[in-house]
Chain A
Amino acid sequence: MGFFQVELTKNVRVHPRHFHSKLKETLIQTLMDEVEGTVSGRFGFVVSVLEVLQPLPKGILREGFGFAVYPLKYKALVFRPFKGEVLDAVVTNVTRHGIFAQVGPLTIFVSRHQIPSDMTHDEETASYISVVEKAERIQRDSAIRLRVNGIKIDASSFTAVGTILDDYLGLIE
């Protein structure tokens, strides 16, 4: 899994109300609230703020507002999927077009073209069933191993397509 630790900077705005002894805590809390769970196009999903680099920089008062802006530097744990990467994912939805699976915050679409041809879609149970081995079926909440085939990076989201059309890919027990 592509987890990385990266150093990032974020301008945090603080209301003058917080200009007191607990300012530091407020700053860090605000930073975490604002950053964790977001997507940055280059670095991927920010999973967690690991550490805010000390000493904290001096804030700059924004004219006319009273807010102070702190350019905080912090180390963050990010999840960045790459093309060609093999990931274990959980199936969230099965349609006749393919399978939607999730790896943490990332949704990956596996088209039916990328599903082995010996697996057929069963409308009733919303699953892909192997023709050879009836017990082998991919349905909601199944765990599958897939390879990321392509990633589309938006300003605020990642979407990916994957394949299970290769050796050692597909359903995992």
Chain B
Amino acid sequence: MDKRKLEKEFLEEEEQSQTEWKKRRKQDNLEQSSETSQDDEQDWGRQGQEDDYEDDEEYSEEEEENNKEYSSKKKKRSSRFIELEAEVDEEDDDEEAEEGDEIERELIDDEEAEEVEDTMASVQQRKALLDRMRSENPEELRRFVRERYGEVDDDDEEEEEEEEEEEVQGLQREYIKDKGIEQQGLLPTVQDPKLFLVKCRIGREKEAVICLLQKYYEYNQKKTPLDFFSAVAPEHLRGYVYVEAYTADSVKEAIDGLRILFPSTLKLIPIEEMVDVLSIVPETSQVERGGWVRISRGTYAGDLAQVYDFREGETNVTVRLIPRLDLQEMRNEDETDKKRLSVNRRPPQKLFKREEVEQIVGSEVFPRRDRYTGEVFDVFRNENYRDGLLYKRVSIRNIVTGDEVAPTFEELEMFHKAQRLASDAKHVEDNQQELEDTMEKTLELSLDTLSSDVEKNMNFCVGDSVIVVSGDLKNLSGRIEAMESDNMVAVRPDDPELKGELIQFSKEELKKYFREGTHVKAINGRHTGETGMVVGISGDIITVFSDITNEEVRLHISQLTETTEESSSKSVIGSFELLDLVTLHSDPRARGVIVRIQRDHATLLDTNGSNRTVSVKDIRSKLDAKRAQALDMNQKPLQVGDMVKVVQGVHKNREGSIRHVASPFVFVNVKDEPQNCGLIVVRAQNCQGPHSVHGNFNMTGQNSMKGATLSSMFSLGGNRFKTDATLSHPVYSGNIGKGHKEDDKLVRQDVLIKSGPWKGYIGKVVSATTASVRVELDSVCKTVTVDRSRVVPKDTAHLEKQKQSLQGAYTPSYEMGSQTPAYSGGSSMATPLHHVGYTPVYAPFTPTLDSGRRDAPRTPIHNAWRPTTPGAADYSSGNKWSDLGLSMYSPFASQETGLASQKTLAENNAISESVDDKKVDHSLSVAKAWIDVLVEHKTKTTIRGYVGGHSPDGMYLQIELEDGNSGSYALSDMQMVAPEKSDVIKVVDGEYTGMKGHLLNAEGDEGIVQFEDGEIKILPVSSLGKIRG
């Protein structure tokens, strides 16, 4: 604030506070106050009493020796107006004497200045004062001020009186000396007027204050004074003004009728915040040429920039930074009539290369001389570039300065690169030489200052390895044992000869010391909290191989400390963590995994495999689809935690475990991926999941024990059950994305509502979406909206019932019967149970679980009823299957097998359960299909032989063992032996069931089969059984 502004503001405030002042001062030496009211009279009576009290207090405090006399004198006086002159004289001497000492004390806060002003003279006085200030010599002025303000002791604030007085004097002096007003000491108390924050039209804050001022005058004229003291529009605050008053009503009254102020937004400033409101932080601009700043808004938000040009007092600053241009996009833009293709994409940082830009976008770059500075820039789309860097004018408001900047070495490296580019270019442009040189220096300089800055506060802590850098013990290494005092630490040397001796060093003598391979943690800077291992050391800069991100980071030694922390602390941004799968507001269909977190930005690895940087606000939600599935190349379900191998595409041959599933993509955690936290994104179709690797039906538990989590067990579906998974998939994705064709299948159908408040009602579907259906009820004249998963077509409803009745049997066996084998080696016996007994039934019959699940729309109930719908084969998934030449499995069969084994288990567990005859028939058909096929026991592989026959219900198989004996085994305990190349096989499942042929080749889980009639088909190996040649 310059002087004039200050004066002006002062005037405004003064004027507003004049009535208040007048209340306090009836008479005045210079100016005759025109108004006297009855209130004033009363006021005076009261104040007279207060005076006495105050004086006592002052006396006892004895704050200033020099003032003692003055105080006691003051005490004696009956009225302060009478002995004014004498007092002033005395005080004058004192003041003069200790003026030098006092000046410091008199630096008072602006805030209090305001308060003080309230107790000061009226505007007219002030004007006079100012006039005098301009005309008279300082000595005279001082005397005048003494006369005028010699003592201001009667105030409402009793306890503060003494200080107050001092401050008033100080203030005057400040005034005279024409200094900025800075005060300290007084704090607002409860008795003081309150500050109210009023919203105002942006840009019209000052106007609002002037309006208030005029209004105040007007009302004064009308003898209906307004009851507020001041109004302030601080320079730095946009859209708000402060009004000082005792009550909110006074403020409301004051701003009533002013259209640029909004009374509804009135807010009281808490007393402790009042000081902050008006205190002016001495503006030590941290913006200086060559300094590092960060951009806080726009495309370059969070990016490091260097101040290139800045002049004191300007609100704009020229910075240079690394451009983020998406040249491809720009070209597309041109072609498609400047249509924005993707709005919120942030292109990666890349140095500007004229040739490249011209080549890609077309010749749009031309050199231009800056009008003011005379420098030559390459101009491209109205932006200035030179030597790869973008020179940009930004508002000072939009940059971050100070400690928060903390440039990383990676970022600085980019600038260095640009710098090298510049030095190359220097040969061409000689006239630029000088400037470049200076800039280069500043660049170097800032790098140096950076390192020396951090060096200064080497954050030592107990346990750090240190090395002595100076003195006669130089190069001695040791470990900090204790922090002695401010600057001393006790070090236990590593050298065994010095063992046991603690040596004291001052911090300056020491430096942190890391060996390669040390596990370290970053304790400050942008990488705070990250842990990693030291892989390279060059001077004070340590290269750390980060544990979480699998990337190398370069850090200064002072930013590191040794750690034994095993798991690296996860970075958190808002409510999101590193490696979360998230969606965006701006692009709801995009999904990405957070791979890097900056201050308020996160870098995502999206499904295209590219990185995009988004602000936290843009992150909509976290997807926690633990059960989400995607289908791998063999249409096998993939789930989080599964080990997969990439078989196609750029990531071919890489292996890892699935971190997230975002169908049709999966994010795979690959150990040797150096970027993106070790994540790669691949199409699920390009992967081979654990269930594809080995012949499914023959799962003999070879899948790696590590990978064999329950979730993968859960999906050990195998071919027989793939219909389940396949069908569930389109429903799932359909719910996420757009609607799908099947939507209206339900329309006009009679359905039964299975759960919810309308449970048991039957009605006709009038409309259907992916998530819900509207059902016109038969019995009640009403149309209700029901969750889609809660309805079943009426004609399949009875099947549901059956399952429901079976559920009772399933649950215990699921708990006990199936889990153990699954744990103990992945025998597929458990699998059917999981699928039949678990998935389809699980959700609908445990509504609580269901509702809590994210993938609820995928409720398996669809799977449950769909297969039995006559049109099952028409489903897109079904068609896909036939297109692929794969057999279409009867979902029924799958369920039957499950049920069959279920029964066995049920028997084993002595849980009796009546199983529908019809179902038995189907398990019978499986058993039939297996005749002649080579099978083995799931757990006891020694039991192995060809199936000779089966029991009437299909539950038991008669097996001719290889050792010549024969035995009877439960169907559910047996599994087919995977046929090998050139084996004679028999198809046991699918549309070719019963056909025999040769297996020409087997790859993964698909086999090429030549039937006896010469036809060649590709069939899943798991549907093939080896038979005698």
Measured in the bound complex, the distance between the Cα atoms of B545 and A26 in whole Å is 44
Question: Does A33 have its Cβ within 8 Å of any Cβ on chain B?
Answer: yes
Measured in the bound complex, the distance between the Cα atoms of B545 and A98 in whole Å is 10
Once the chains bind, are A100 and B671 in contact (CB under 8 Å)?
yes
Question: Does A34 have its Cβ within 8 Å of any Cβ on chain B?
Answer: yes
Q: Mark B204-237, 1 if CB is under 8 A from A, else 0.
A: 0000000000000000000000000000000000
Question: Does B375 have its Cβ within 8 Å of any Cβ on chain A?
Answer: no
Question: Does B820 have its Cβ within 8 Å of any Cβ on chain A?
Answer: yes
Measured in the bound complex, the distance between the Cα atoms of B538 and A21 in whole Å is 66
Known interface pairs A15-B816, A97-B674, A154-B566. Does A159 touch B705 (Cβ–Cβ under 8 Å)?
no
Known interface pairs A149-B533, A161-B535, A161-B545. Does A95 touch B817 (Cβ–Cβ under 8 Å)?
no
Select B820's contact among A17, A150, A159, A161, beta carbons within 8 Å.
Answer: A17
Once the chains bind, are A98 and B825 in contact (CB under 8 Å)?
no
Question: Does A93 have its Cβ within 8 Å of any Cβ on chain B?
Answer: yes
Once the chains bind, are A17 and B908 in contact (CB under 8 Å)?
yes
The residue of chain A having its C-beta at the shortest distance from the C-beta of B543 within the complex is A113
Q: Give A109-133 interface residues, CB cut-off 8 Å to B.
A: 109, 111-114
The residue of chain A having its C-beta at the shortest distance from the C-beta of B705 within the complex is A37
Once the chains bind, are B706 and A37 in contact (CB under 8 Å)?
yes
Once the chains bind, are B566 and A155 in contact (CB under 8 Å)?
yes
Q: Which A residues are in CB contact (< 8 Å) with B701?
A: 33
Q: Closest approach, in angstroms, between the C-beta of A61 and any C-beta of chain B?
A: 13
Q: Closest approach, in angstroms, between the C-beta of A153 and any C-beta of chain B?
A: 6
Residue among A13, A30, A67, A152 with max Cβ neighbours from chain B (10 Å) = A152
Measured in the bound complex, the distance between the Cα atoms of B700 and A29 in whole Å is 13
Once the chains bind, are B535 and A114 in contact (CB under 8 Å)?
yes
The residue of chain A having its C-beta at the shortest distance from the C-beta of B520 within the complex is A150
Question: Does A66 have its Cβ within 8 Å of any Cβ on chain B?
Answer: yes
Q: Which A residues are in CB contact (< 8 Å) with B819?
A: 15
Select B533's contact among A33, A67, A155, A161, beta carbons within 8 Å.
Answer: A161
Question: Does A169 have its Cβ within 8 Å of any Cβ on chain B?
Answer: no
The residue of chain B having its C-beta at the shortest distance from the C-beta of A162 within the complex is B517
Question: Does A14 have its Cβ within 8 Å of any Cβ on chain B?
Answer: yes
Q: Mark B683-714, 1 if CB is under 8 A from A, else 0.
A: 00000000000000000010011100000000
Question: Does B110 have its Cβ within 8 Å of any Cβ on chain A?
Answer: no
Measured in the bound complex, the distance between the Cα atoms of B566 and A41 in whole Å is 10
Once the chains bind, are A154 and B820 in contact (CB under 8 Å)?
no
Once the chains bind, are B705 and A36 in contact (CB under 8 Å)?
yes
Q: Mark A129-173, 1 if CB is under 8 A from B, else 0.
A: 000000000000000000011111111100101010000000000
Measured in the bound complex, the distance between the Cα atoms of B819 and A13 in whole Å is 11
Q: Which B residues are in CB contact (< 8 Å) with A17?
A: 817, 820, 908-909
Q: Which A residues are in CB contact (< 8 Å) with B519?
A: 150, 152
Q: Closest approach, in angstroms, between the C-beta of A39 and any C-beta of chain B?
A: 8
Q: Closest approach, in angstroms, between the C-beta of B934 and any C-beta of chain A?
A: 23
Once the chains bind, are B545 and A111 in contact (CB under 8 Å)?
yes
Q: Which A residues are in CB contact (< 8 Å) with B534?
A: 150
Once the chains bind, are A150 and B672 in contact (CB under 8 Å)?
no
Question: Does A5 have its Cβ within 8 Å of any Cβ on chain B?
Answer: no
Q: Which A residues are in CB contact (< 8 Å) with B705?
A: 33-34, 36-38
Measured in the bound complex, the distance between the Cα atoms of B239 and A132 in whole Å is 69
Q: Mark B537-553, 1 if CB is under 8 A from A, else 0.
A: 11000010101000110
Question: Does A92 have its Cβ within 8 Å of any Cβ on chain B?
Answer: yes
Once the chains bind, are B671 and A83 in contact (CB under 8 Å)?
no
Residue among A26, A83, A109, A156 with max Cβ neighbours from chain B (10 Å) = A109
Q: Give B522-541 interface residues, CB cut-off 8 Å to A.
A: 533-538
A-B interface contact total, Cβ < 8 Å: 102
B interface, size bucket: 35 or more
Question: Does B567 have its Cβ within 8 Å of any Cβ on chain A?
Answer: yes
Q: Which A residues are in CB contact (< 8 Å) with B535?
A: 98, 109, 111, 113-114, 149, 161
Measured in the bound complex, the distance between the Cα atoms of B706 and A37 in whole Å is 7
Q: Which A residues are in CB contact (< 8 Å) with B672?
A: 92-93, 95, 100, 107, 109
Q: Mark A20-38, 1 if CB is under 8 A from B, else 0.
A: 0000001001100110111
Question: Does B286 have its Cβ within 8 Å of any Cβ on chain A?
Answer: no
Q: Mark A66-88, 1 if CB is under 8 A from B, else 0.
A: 11000000000000000100000
Q: Which A residues are in CB contact (< 8 Å) with B566?
A: 41, 152-155
Q: Give B560-613 interface residues, CB cut-off 8 Å to A.
A: 566-567
Select A163's contact among B516, B538, B706, B816, beta carbons within 8 Å.
Answer: B516
Q: Closest approach, in angstroms, between the C-beta of A78 and any C-beta of chain B?
A: 15
Q: Which A residues are in CB contact (< 8 Å) with B817?
A: 15, 17
Once the chains bind, are A33 and B516 in contact (CB under 8 Å)?
no
Q: Which A residues are in CB contact (< 8 Å) with B704?
A: 37
Measured in the bound complex, the distance between the Cα atoms of B594 and A170 in whole Å is 36
Once the chains bind, are A161 and B816 in contact (CB under 8 Å)?
no
Measured in the bound complex, the distance between the Cα atoms of B517 and A34 in whole Å is 32
Question: Does B247 have its Cβ within 8 Å of any Cβ on chain A?
Answer: no
Residue among A112, A149, A153, A155 with max Cβ neighbours from chain B (10 Å) = A149
Measured in the bound complex, the distance between the Cα atoms of B566 and A34 in whole Å is 24
Q: Which A residues are in CB contact (< 8 Å) with B547?
A: 152, 159
Measured in the bound complex, the distance between the Cα atoms of B544 and A109 in whole Å is 12
Q: Closest approach, in angstroms, between the C-beta of B606 and any C-beta of chain A?
A: 21
Residue among B519, B671, B819, B908 with max Cβ neighbours from chain A (10 Å) = B671
Question: Does B824 have its Cβ within 8 Å of any Cβ on chain A?
Answer: yes
Question: Does B807 have its Cβ within 8 Å of any Cβ on chain A?
Answer: no
Q: Which A residues are in CB contact (< 8 Å) with B674?
A: 95-98
Q: Closest approach, in angstroms, between the C-beta of A102 and any C-beta of chain B?
A: 9
Known interface pairs A97-B674, A107-B671, A150-B533. Does A30 touch B516 (Cβ–Cβ under 8 Å)?
no
Q: Which A residues are in CB contact (< 8 Å) with B442?
A: none
Q: Mark A39-76, 1 if CB is under 8 A from B, else 0.
A: 00100000000000000000000000111000000000
Measured in the bound complex, the distance between the Cα atoms of B824 and A83 in whole Å is 35
Once the chains bind, are B536 and A33 in contact (CB under 8 Å)?
no
Q: Mark B808-822, 1 if CB is under 8 A from A, else 0.
A: 000000001101110
The residue of chain B having its C-beta at the shortest distance from the C-beta of A96 within the complex is B674
Q: Which B residues are in CB contact (< 8 Å) with A96?
A: 674
Measured in the bound complex, the distance between the Cα atoms of B35 and A124 in whole Å is 92
Q: Closest approach, in angstroms, between the C-beta of A112 and any C-beta of chain B?
A: 8
Q: Closest approach, in angstroms, between the C-beta of B699 and any C-beta of chain A?
A: 13
Q: Closest approach, in angstroms, between the C-beta of A45 and any C-beta of chain B?
A: 10
Q: Which A residues are in CB contact (< 8 Å) with B890?
A: none
Q: Closest approach, in angstroms, between the C-beta of A82 and any C-beta of chain B?
A: 11
Q: Closest approach, in angstroms, between the C-beta of A98 and any C-beta of chain B?
A: 7
Known interface pairs A17-B817, A29-B824, A161-B517. Does A152 touch B533 (Cβ–Cβ under 8 Å)?
yes
Q: Which B residues are in CB contact (< 8 Å) with A112?
A: 536
Question: Does B250 have its Cβ within 8 Å of any Cβ on chain A?
Answer: no
Q: Which B residues are in CB contact (< 8 Å) with A36?
A: 705
Q: Closest approach, in angstroms, between the C-beta of B654 and any C-beta of chain A?
A: 8
Measured in the bound complex, the distance between the Cα atoms of B566 and A161 in whole Å is 15
Q: Closest approach, in angstroms, between the C-beta of A165 and any C-beta of chain B?
A: 9
Measured in the bound complex, the distance between the Cα atoms of B825 and A45 in whole Å is 19
Q: Which A residues are in CB contact (< 8 Å) with B909?
A: 17
Measured in the bound complex, the distance between the Cα atoms of B261 and A108 in whole Å is 67
Q: Closest approach, in angstroms, between the C-beta of A11 and any C-beta of chain B?
A: 13
The residue of chain B having its C-beta at the shortest distance from the C-beta of A105 within the complex is B706
Question: Does B398 have its Cβ within 8 Å of any Cβ on chain A?
Answer: no
Q: Which B residues are in CB contact (< 8 Å) with A98?
A: 535, 674
Q: Closest approach, in angstroms, between the C-beta of A85 and any C-beta of chain B?
A: 11
Known interface pairs A114-B536, A161-B535. Does A150 touch B516 (Cβ–Cβ under 8 Å)?
yes
5 smallest beta-carbon distances between A and B, as pairs:
A150-B517, A113-B536, A149-B517, A111-B535, A100-B672
Taking A30-B824, A150-B517, A152-B533 as known contacts, 15 extra A-B pairs with beta carbons closer than 8 A to each other, sorted by chain A number, are A13-B820, A15-B817, A15-B820, A29-B825, A33-B825, A37-B706, A83-B517, A97-B552, A111-B535, A111-B536, A111-B543, A114-B535, A114-B536, A148-B517, A159-B671
Please name 30 pairs of A and B residues whose Cβ atoms are closer than 8 Å in the assembled complex, sorted by A: A13-B820, A14-B820, A15-B816, A15-B821, A18-B820, A26-B939, A30-B823, A33-B823, A37-B706, A38-B706, A93-B672, A96-B674, A97-B552, A97-B674, A98-B535, A100-B671, A107-B672, A109-B672, A113-B535, A113-B536, A113-B537, A113-B538, A149-B533, A149-B535, A150-B519, A151-B517, A155-B567, A161-B517, A161-B535, A163-B516
